[in-house]
Amino acid sequence: MNHGVHVIDTGFVRPRFDAAYLLVEEGRAAFIDCGTNHSVPRMLQALDKAGLTPASVDWLILTHVHLDHAGGAGELIAQLPNARLVVHPRGARHMIDPNQLWAGASAVYGEDVMETTYGRLRPVAAERVDEAPDGHVVSLNGRPLLCLDTPGHARHHLSVYDRQANVCFTGDTFGLSYREFDTANGPFILPTTTPVQFDPDALHASIRRLVGLKPSAMYLTHFGPVENVGKLANDLHAQIDAMVNIATAAQAHSSDKGQRHEAMKAALTDLYLSRAQAHGWAGDRASLLDLLGMDVELNAQGLGVWLDSRKTSAA
Ligand SMILES: [Zn+2]
């Protein structure tokens, strides 16, 4: 009943943090996302466990080119003799020439962290890359995988609708839901506004579009499948609005960017903690930050970039 959908833990950061997926249809396979260079052995192991070989893989589909999803693409595809890379048209050139991607991510994380965390990015040969505009269908041995343009988290983001399984692979568009926050009320979810392309209106619209397909589950990168899609979408919409309000308030009250950033981090932590506790989660502020500290930091950074881009475009 799992329609040949396998969850792979890429091993990035901690267990159950970063997922990739292996889809199998009658002996042929597709990966959706792939983690980093360090995840490649786990991807190959997943194939082996499914009784397949690297030659069985026809597709590596990337939801977007952020490195926790796509960093290992060049290394992985070098191991897959028959696979083609499927990527959003805005992401394709960054997979063919990863220098700009490397520089952009280094600006966020620092060059040292980049080397150890992700490893050097290996380019993908242009002739192995398929650009997937909105409505592009990938055929996995006859099983259609529909690629939808879903901006909001990033402008180079696509989501994949698998009609046969009736599930969506949402990358980061449908937020983050770590299993440590599961309670009797089900999964807890929050949006991700990682730098540098957060767009609240686009994110609302993309979430509405995915929910409109009426999938039975969303398969998130962080982490795994979640059901009860309508309820979780409402949680996301409410928090996107709350996060925009947090950003706008911090902008109004803080004269310098360091202060603004700290104010946003504190308010985001308050928001997620109050929602997690209302959800029945038993943890406190410190244990929340153990799990979400990095996301709070990145979400605050992304909101800061969004605030500054609004100022520029209004000027
Ligand atoms: Zn991302």
Determine the pLDDT at residue 107. 84
Residue owning tokens 């009658």: 26
- Residues 252 and 154 sit within 8 Å (Cβ to Cβ): no
Task: Please give the distance, rounded to the nearest whole angstrom, from the Cα atom of residue 27 to the centre of ligand 1.
Answer: 30
For 1-15, 171-185, 195-209, which range has the lowest pLDDT when averaged over its residues? 1-15
- Residues 14 and 53 sit within 8 Å (Cβ to Cβ): no
Task: Please give the distance, rounded to the nearest whole angstrom, from the Cα atom of residue 66 to the centre of ligand 1.
Answer: 5
- Domain spanning 5-228: which CATH class is it, in words? alpha beta
Task: Please give the distance, rounded to the nearest whole angstrom, from the Cα atom of residue 24 to the centre of ligand 1.
Answer: 25
Residues 54-75: pLDDT tens digits?
999 999 999 999 999 999 999 9
Residue 162 to residue 5: CA distance in whole angstroms? 10
Q: With 80 as the cut, is the pLDDT of residue 199 above it?
A: yes
Determine the pLDDT at residue 22. 98
Facing residues of 229 across strands? none
Determine the pLDDT at residue 290. 98
Q: What average pLDDT does the structure give for the chain? A: 96
Measure the CA angle with vertex 248, ends 242 and 250; round to 5°.
Answer: 100
CA-wise closest residue to 281 among 191, 192, 184: 184
Cα 29 to Cα 50, 53, 57, 171: the distances in Å are: 10, 9, 5, 19
Task: Please give the distance, rounded to the nearest whole angstrom, from the Cα atom of residue 122 to the centre of ligand 1.
Answer: 19
Determine the pLDDT at residue 314. 57
Categorize the per-residue pLDDT at 253 as very low, low, confident or very high, splitting at 50, 70 and 90: confident
- Residues 156 and 64 sit within 8 Å (Cβ to Cβ): yes
Residue 102 to residue 67: CA distance in whole angstroms? 9
| Residue 145 neighbours by CB under 8 Å, 6+ apart | 23, 30, 59, 61, 137, 138, 139, 160, 161, 162
Categorize the per-residue pLDDT at 311 as very low, low, confident or very high, splitting at 50, 70 and 90: confident
pTM reported for the whole predicted model? 0.96
The arithmetic mean of pLDDT across residues 267-277, rounded, is 98
Q: What percent of the chain has pLDDT over 90?
A: 91
Determine the pLDDT at residue 159. 98
Determine the pLDDT at residue 247. 98
Categorize the per-residue pLDDT at 113 as very low, low, confident or very high, splitting at 50, 70 and 90: confident
Q: With 80 as the cut, is the pLDDT of residue 315 above it?
A: no
Tokens (6 digits) for 229: 């899609």
> Is 261 buried (19+), middle (13-18) or exposed (0-12) by CB count in 10 A?
middle
Tokens (6 digits) for 198: 């957060």
Determine the pLDDT at residue 1. 47
Categorize the per-residue pLDDT at 2 as very low, low, confident or very high, splitting at 50, 70 and 90: confident
Categorize the per-residue pLDDT at 313 as very low, low, confident or very high, splitting at 50, 70 and 90: low
The arithmetic mean of pLDDT across residues 29-41, rounded, is 98
Task: Please give the distance, rounded to the nearest whole angstrom, from the Cα atom of residue 174 to the centre of ligand 1.
Answer: 11
Task: Please give the distance, rounded to the nearest whole angstrom, from the Cα atom of residue 304 to the centre of ligand 1.
Answer: 16
Q: Around ion ligand 1, which residues have CB less than 5 A away?
A: 66, 172
Q: With 70 as the cut, is the pLDDT of residue 233 above it?
A: yes
Facing residues of 281 across strands? none
| Residue 90 neighbours by CB under 8 Å, 6+ apart | 155, 156
Categorize the per-residue pLDDT at 212 as very low, low, confident or very high, splitting at 50, 70 and 90: very high
The arithmetic mean of pLDDT across residues 29-43, rounded, is 98
Task: Please give the distance, rounded to the nearest whole angstrom, from the Cα atom of residue 83 to the centre of ligand 1.
Answer: 23
Task: Please give the distance, rounded to the nearest whole angstrom, from the Cα atom of residue 68 to the centre of ligand 1.
Answer: 7
Q: With 70 as the cut, is the pLDDT of residue 81 above it?
A: yes
Task: Please give the distance, rounded to the nearest whole angstrom, from the Cα atom of residue 277 to the centre of ligand 1.
Answer: 26
Task: Please give the distance, rounded to the nearest whole angstrom, from the Cα atom of residue 93 to the centre of ligand 1.
Answer: 17
The arithmetic mean of pLDDT across residues 107-135, rounded, is 92
Find the length of the chain.
Answer: 315
Tokens (6 digits) for 238: 């409410």
Q: With 50 as the cut, is the pLDDT of residue 309 above it?
A: yes
Task: Please give the distance, rounded to the nearest whole angstrom, from the Cα atom of residue 157 to the centre of ligand 1.
Answer: 8
Spans of all domains in the chain: 5-228, 233-314
What is the DSSP secondary-structure string of 293-313? HHHHHHHHHHHHHHHHHHHHH
Task: Please give the distance, rounded to the nearest whole angstrom, from the Cα atom of residue 270 to the centre of ligand 1.
Answer: 23
Q: With 60 as the cut, is the pLDDT of residue 250 above it?
A: yes
Task: Please give the distance, rounded to the nearest whole angstrom, from the Cα atom of residue 266 to the centre of ligand 1.
Answer: 22
Tokens (6 digits) for 302: 């992304």
Task: Please give the distance, rounded to the nearest whole angstrom, from the Cα atom of residue 168 to the centre of ligand 1.
Answer: 16
Categorize the per-residue pLDDT at 108 as very low, low, confident or very high, splitting at 50, 70 and 90: confident
Q: Under DSSP, is residue 116 helix (H, G, I), strand (E, B) or coil?
A: helix
Task: Please give the distance, rounded to the nearest whole angstrom, from the Cα atom of residue 271 to the centre of ligand 1.
Answer: 21
Tokens (6 digits) for 74: 């060049």
Q: With 60 as the cut, is the pLDDT of residue 142 above it?
A: yes
Task: Please give the distance, rounded to the nearest whole angstrom, from the Cα atom of residue 127 to the centre of ligand 1.
Answer: 25
